[in-house]
């Protein structure tokens, strides 16, 4: 099977479980590989081809690792489908000890500025900013939200979120914000809460950044959400439950966070933010 044909099969399969933006990144990374080694039969691709590809990349170590990760996922898929016998992407090819930047977060003053600027633009933009800020969502998660994702659990309103790998989690909503979000949802003529493309959302964030002088992007709001929780001394296991992150260690992986703890934190930390 030609590499290009295998790529289409892989992306079509993954499109059922991954965000559109992630699929685009996979496609870009895999096509870069094809440009370097050619549209070979996948059975003929060797570790040496991956090494040549790695050596040709003129980008940051973290981006090199991301592109190798895309190749690794692709070949693991082919192994599972019994198209190839083994994965030519070896762990030793990854760049180790890549320095991780400390995530930037907004200050409380910047949060107020951003919310005020968003509200001046339109109510949709204001609710969009608050939804990321109060729920710690990824932009792909936000843009996939539907009216039906505002649900009730144990007498409380929660937001149903589909994260990476199709994993489902439920984010407790502060009572006042839950009422705002439901009111906004009831005013819409379509099922999607935010009928925007990624580029459309990015444009809105850029405009808010221009009007406030605050460096802003969707993931920065997610970092802000997590930072606020850390500042308030919230247990790391609870933060992981909110964000939908994989646990950093085995102990936390098996720890269970009670629903009542998440409800309490949603009210105490974000219930009074205007």
Q: Is residue 99 part of a domain?
A: no
What is the CATH number for 150?
A: 1.10.443.10
Instruction: Look up the domain containing 176 and give its range.
Output: 108-270
Domain boundary among 61, 93, 125: 93
Q: What share of the chain is helix, strand, coil (3-state, %, to 5)?
A: 60, 5, 30
Residue 101 lies in a domain: no
CATH number at residue 42: 1.10.150.130
The residues, any chain, with a CB within 8 Å of residue 147's CB and separated by 6 or more, are: 185, 188, 191, 192, 193
Cα within 13 Å of Cα(39), Cβ side: 7
> 60 and 180 in one domain?
no
- Whether residues 70 and 120 share a domain: the answer is no
* CA 263-268-271 angle, 5° bins: 90
Q: Which of 79, 82, 3 is nearest to 44 (CA)?
A: 3
Residues 142 and 239 in one domain: yes
Report yes or no: 173 and 135 within 8 Å, Cβ to Cβ.
yes
Tell me how crowded residue 256 is: count the other CB atoms within 10 A of its CB. 7
Kindly compute the dihedral angle of the four CA atoms of residues 85, 90, 91, 92, in this order, to the nearest 10 degrees.
150
> In this structure, are 79 and 125 located in the same domain?
no
Q: Are residues 31 and 141 in the same domain?
A: no
User: If we measure between CA atoms, which residue out of 182, 199, 185 comes closest to residue 139?
Assistant: 199
Give yes or no: residues 168 and 242 share one domain: yes
Of the residues 45, 64, 93, the one at which a domain ends: 93
- This model's pTM is above 0.75: no
- Residue 252's pLDDT is 35
Is there a single domain that holds both residue 60 and residue 137? no
- The reply to whether 72 and 136 lie within a common domain is no
Residue 102 lies in a domain: no
Residue 99: the pLDDT is: 57
- Residue ranges in the chain modelled with pLDDT below 70: 97-103, 245-262, 272-274
**pLDDT of res. 61:** 85
Distance CA 44, CA 98 (A): 31
The sign of the torsion formed by the CA atoms of 189, 243, 224, 236 equals positive
3-state secondary structure of 194: coil
Contact 242, 161 (CB under 8 A): no
Q: Tokens in use for 56?
A: 């040709």
Task: Give the whole-angstrom CA distance, residue 207 versus residue 128.
Answer: 14
H or E element that contains 21: helix 20-37
Q: Which one-letter DSSP state was computed for residue 249?
A: S
Q: What is the DSSP letter of 81?
A: T
Residue 23 lies in a domain: yes
Task: Please check whether residues 117 and 69 belong to one and the same domain.
Answer: no
Judgement on whether residues 156 and 64 belong to the same structural domain of the protein: no
One domain for residues 118 and 86 = no
How confident is the model at residue 256, as a pLDDT? 43
Number of other CB atoms surrounding residue 274 within 10 Å: 9
Q: How many domains does the chain have?
A: 2
Considering only CA atoms, which of 76, 80, 32 is closest in space to residue 57?
Answer: 32
Residue 37 lies in a domain: yes
Instruction: Out of 93, 119, 135, pick the residue that ends a domain.
Output: 93
């Amino acid at each position: 099977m030609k590499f290009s044909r295998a790529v289409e099969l892989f992306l079509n399969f993954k499109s059922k479980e991954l965000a559109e933006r992630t699929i685009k990144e996979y496609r870009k990374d895999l096509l870069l590989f094809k440009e370097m080694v050619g549209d070979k039969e996948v059975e003929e691709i060797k570790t040496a081809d991956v090494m040549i590809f790695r050596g040709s990349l003129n980008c940051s170590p973290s981006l090199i690792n991301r592109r190798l990760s895309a190749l690794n996922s692709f070949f693991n898929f082919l192994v599972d489908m019994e198209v190839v016998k083994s994965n030519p992407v070896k762990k030793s090819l990854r760049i180790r000890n890549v320095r991780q930047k400390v995530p930037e977060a907004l200050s409380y003053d910047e949060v107020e500025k951003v919310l005020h600027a968003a509200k001046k633009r339109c109510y949709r933009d204001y609710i969009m900013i608050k939804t990321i800020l109060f729920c710690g969502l990824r932009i792909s998660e936000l843009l996939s939200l539907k009216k039906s994702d505002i649900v009730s659990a144990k007498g409380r309103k929660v937001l149903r979120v589909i994260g990476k790998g199709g994993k489902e989690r439920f984010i407790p909503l502060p009572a006042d914000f839950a009422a705002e979000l439901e009111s906004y949802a009831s005013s819409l003529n379509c099922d999607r809460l935010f009928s925007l493309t990624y580029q459309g959302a990015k444009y809105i964030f850029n405009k808010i950044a221009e009007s406030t002088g605050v460096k802003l992007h969707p993931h920065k709001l997610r970092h802000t959400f997590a930072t606020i929780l850390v500042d308030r001394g919230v247990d790391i296991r609870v933060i992981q439950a909110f964000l939908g992150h994989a646990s950093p260690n085995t102990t936390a992986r098996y720890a269970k966070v009670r629903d009542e703890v998440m409800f309490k934190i949603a009210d105490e930390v974000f219930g009074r933010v205007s």
